[in-house]
Structure 1
Amino acid sequence: MQSSSELFPVALMSAELRGDLTEDVYRLKPANSPDPSVELVLTRLGRFGQEGGRGVPVILLHGSFSNRRFWYSPRGLGLAPYLARAGFDPWIAEMRGHGLSPRNQQYRRNRVADYARYDLPAIAAFVREQSGQVPHWIGHSLGGTTLAAALGGHYLGEEDVASAALFGSQVSRNYWPLKVPPVEWGGRMLLKRFEVLSGSWLKRGPEDEPIGLALESLRWHGLFGRFGDAERDWWAGLAEVRMPVMAVAAAGDLQDPAWACRKLLEQVPEEHRHFLLLAKDEGFSDDFGHIEMLVSKAAEREVWPLVAHWLEHQRLPLTTAALEAVAL
């Protein structure tokens, strides 16, 4: 195929007009990991008629059991279209086997370690090549955790990340039974019988997840587990991050509680970290939930403008009144 990049083979799968938006879909084959069959799909949105004047690039990473539709609905709604209409250059990544990205040959073995070490750097390189600018990154749930792993593992640096925003992302929620070795071993033996975790069966979302992610999570939360892989301690590496990082937690999020999201952020040096809690006590209309923090009418009114403000200034408004003014 004729490549759209000088870095590695890239195919432009489609270029469509969706109302007032342009939608370009690229398939990347970076061949930079032990599994050369990996292909990643990126969707780039723009404003029709203003393709030559794109703004700052923003890369969006979905969470587990999800795909690009978390950010961009078929009706042209979502944070990604909002950012495109606000003058930014949003790129929506779909991880291995999600959405338009095909399953790789070693799909069941996929781990956050692979996404962070191989996939995110390839995505960063392509977006930099196409836009000529250092991108901002936004990750939700597992997407934010993967972004934190890439920063802590130094797979992404200042040349790849202008800022990072982690929504509902944490690795500190304790599962005490997993601290008992026989329980962890038993769980591992049980999980190894499966190829995937079914999002529809678990009622978690439209996509499946490879069993490798679950096995990796067991290791993180085991008795001597850590947020890292055999080579690098990502948790410790976050202390060396030198770009602005924002963590956003939701008071009504039972899956990834606010205290755990804050704990992940606190690994980043104080001068680079920013924390936002979406709660009634903080001046918001509701105690947002794990999904509702980014996908809801309330998020459209109250959270999306704050995201745009963050991308423009790499800081948050200092007062509740300022938060309300930005949202308006």
Structure 2
Amino acid sequence: MQHRQQSLWLKVSHYQLHLRQLIPAQPNGHRVLMLHGAIENSRIFYNEKGRGLACFLAEMGFEVYCADFAGRGQSIPAASRHFNHSQNQLITADIPALIRHLTQAGPVHLIAHSWAGVVLAAALARQPELVPLVRSVLTFGSKRCISVQSWQRRLHIDWVWNRLGPLLCKVYGYLPARQWRFGADNEPAQYLLDTIPWIRGEAFTDISDGFNYANACKHLNWPPSWHLAAVNDRLLGHPQDVLAFLAETGLDAGRFTLLGKATGYKMDYDHISMLTAATAREDHFVQLADWLGRQ
């Protein structure tokens, strides 16, 4: 690997957020913060063998930080009956703390997968003073509502996420997604409950205090942005839902790309393979590194 890795922890309130830092052998002066989606952690972006978008960017000279949200990954403590965490806390405290911490040396690029794109947009809309600290925003399969109707939606969203998930939270005190094998990591109970109204298509307002994110987004001067969806993403980041999210937030002024053979890419990607497939390194990862370097 043409980079080295180490772990750091950022204290926020009574918990600590884990950051995996990837340090390039030949820095190009750009710093990147990566944010993961629901029922996963930052390892969607990297591993110790040099695979993943974070490792690719580090090899291209970018200094990369992959964050684990509170209760996930190596953040301390882990989600449990004794440690809960809300979506409001992530939007109002954690994401701003991460951005401010990493921009002490200058603006940073922000990369988000899936639901992280939603909470990131909400954080910037709610704290517009953060926007000048951001060089660019890059999202993968980010949507707020799931409108597509299919058997996958009925099973994975209507039954597992919206019904089984809250029941498991009552029993365990958190969402044991890893134990029940429908996610790469567990979730704090309140965070799961907070996502359900937005996924159903209810108003883009904070269920904790009523803050109107939809209205705030209309007045935001967004940084340069690029948004990717995958042609085989049938549910968690369906292209039509990604486009609806971009239109709702005003991010549709940025660039949009559909990853599939018909649009010139090496395979028809899905929600996970757009970040993990071996072909991605010589496919869209190259384009992304070039784009980020020009922002």
- Could you state the TM-score of these two structures normalised by the residue count of structure 2? 0.84
**Change in 2 beyond 3 A, CA 1:313/1:194:** same
Q: Does 1:196 align with 2:174?
A: yes
> Does the Cα contact within 8 Å between 2:266 and 2:279 map onto a contact in 1?
yes
Q: How far apart in 2 are the matches of 1:192 and 1:219?
A: 18
Q: Does 1:82 align with 2:60?
A: no
SS at match of 1:311: helix
Specify the structure having the higher radius of gyration (Cα): 1
Q: How far apart in 2 are the matches of 1:194 and 1:222?
A: 24
Q: Does 1:99 align with 2:80?
A: no
Equivalent residue letter for 1:250: A
Task: List runs of 5+ in structure 1 lacking aligned partners.
Answer: 1-18, 32-36, 178-183, 315-328
Q: How far apart in 1 are the matches of 2:206 and 2:246?
A: 16
Kindly provide the CA deviation profile for residues 284-322 of structure 1, in whole angstroms up to 9, marking residues without a partner as x: 2222100001110121121211211221235xxxxxxxx
Give the match for residue 229 of structure 2: 249
Q: How far apart in 1 are the matches of 2:147 and 2:134?
A: 30
Q: How far apart in 2 are the matches of 1:169 and 1:224?
A: 17
What is the aligned length? Answer: 281
**Change in 2 beyond 3 A, CA 1:309/1:202:** farther
Q: Does 1:307 align with 2:288?
A: yes
SS at match of 1:200: coil
Kindly provide the CA deviation profile for residues 241-266 of structure 1, in whole angstroms up to 9, marking residues without a partner as x: 32122221111012220011111112
> Does the Cα contact within 8 Å between 1:62 and 1:70 map onto a contact in 2?
yes
Equivalent residue letter for 1:162: R
Q: How far apart in 2 are the matches of 1:45 and 1:225?
A: 38
SS at match of 2:23: strand
Q: How far apart in 2 are the matches of 1:278 and 1:271?
A: 17
Q: Which has the higher contact order (CA 8 A, sep 6+)?
A: 2
Give the match for residue 318 of structure 1: none
Give the match for residue 10 of structure 2: 28
Kindly provide the CA deviation profile for residues 100-120 of structure 1, in whole angstroms up to 9, marking residues without a partner as x: 111278865422221111011
Q: How far apart in 1 are the matches of 2:102 and 2:220?
A: 21
Give the match for residue 41 of structure 1: 18
Give the superposition deviation at 1:175: 8.3
Equivalent residue letter for 2:94: D
Give the match for residue 262 of structure 1: 243
Q: Does 1:292 align with 2:273?
A: yes
User: Which of residues 252, 258, 264 is equivalent to 1:277?
Assistant: 258
What are the residue-to-residue correspondences of 1:128-139 with 2, within 5 Å?
Answer: 128-129=103-104, 132-139=105-112
User: Which of residues 115, 123, 130 is equivalent to 1:142?
Assistant: 115
**Identical columns (%):** 26
Give the superposition deviation at 1:63: 1.7
Q: Which 4+ stretches in 1 moved above 6 angstroms? A: 104-107, 184-187
SS at match of 2:92: helix
Give the match for residue 69 of structure 1: 43
Give the superposition deviation at 1:25: 1.9
User: Which of residues 177, 182, 204 is equivalent to 1:226?
Assistant: 204
User: Which of residues 116, 137, 143 is equivalent to 1:164?
Assistant: 137
> Does the Cα contact within 8 Å between 1:247 and 1:262 map onto a contact in 2?
no
Equivalent residue letter for 2:141: G
Give the superposition deviation at 1:150: 1.1
